[in-house]
Amino acid sequence: MILDRFRLDGKVAVVTGAGRGIGAAIAVALAEAGADVVLAARTRSQLLSVAEEVRRRGRRAHVVESDLSDPAAGAALAGIAVAEFDRLDVVVNNVGGGRPGPLGRSSTDVLERAFRFNVSTADALTRAGAEVMLRGDGGAIVNISSAIGRVAGRGFLAYGTAKAALTHYTRLSAADLAPRIRVNAVAPGTVFTSALRKLVGEEAMRERVEASTPLRRIGDPQDVAAAVLYLATDASAYLTGKVIEVDGGLHAPNIDLGLPDL
């Protein structure tokens, strides 16, 4: 059955930035599909809450409290997965971020930190994870990029540049790791998380964001999790080096021909 291709029974996944928001939704979705999950983030209390959700789905969870701005911490997760669950099949490089600020209020140091947090950590875990996967049955790696890595928006110089690099890193690493490991990415648009609430807390700002999105709503973490599940499973067995834009149509053609609404 086609739905069997969306299953991860007997598989083991590592999800970074798994304590809340998009990362938590991804971890739970993978567990619902049958995977045991290694959960990594900075805040132990948040990780324990997500781990409980994974166990409620009948799967095992292992919590790793770690500062993933350090690439070495990310690389260590591959070995932890093997030590705890004897294998590694799926890596989701979700951790990332960056300080908002335009060029005039940014610095080279801010840019370098954004690259380290968004690209270097993903690279470290990709390398370590690939080494494990190549000794086993292969696997799938999914990177969480961002729509701002493609479109230009004021105030996102460091973050957007780093995410653009992660997007192309996805394509290049996919070429190197094929055919046994598939590497793809998801590029979310505006997704309603606790971080976003701080930016769009005012109703006028939220309305502005929704009005600029063709689907006229802010995304939900589960919208991203569903795309990651697809890329992590055999449902996407013939995809590698691709980026799925989960952005409410932000990248769709925006041409108004003056025709009446359908």
For residue 106, CA distances in Å to 99, 103, 119, 149 come to 9, 5, 19, 17
Q: How far apart are CA 127 and CA 136, in angstroms?
A: 15
Q: Where are the alpha helices (DSSP H) in the chain?
A: 21-32, 44-56, 71-85, 108-115, 121-135, 157-177, 194-199, 203-211, 221-232
Active-site residue identified among 159, 169, 230, 238: 159
DSSP code of 260? P
Name the burial class of residue 91, with classes exposed (0-12), middle (13-18) and buried (19+) by CB atoms within 10 angstroms of its CB.
buried
Query: Is position 159 annotated as part of the catalytic site?
Result: yes
For residue 179, whether the previous peptide bond is cis, meaning omega lies within 30 degrees of 0, is yes
- Cα–chain-centroid distance for residue 159? 14
Nearest to 90 by CA among 200, 9, 2, 189: 9
What residues form DSSP beta bridges with 91?
14, 141
For residue 35, CA distances in Å to 60, 125, 212 come to 8, 19, 37
Which residues are identified as catalytic? 159
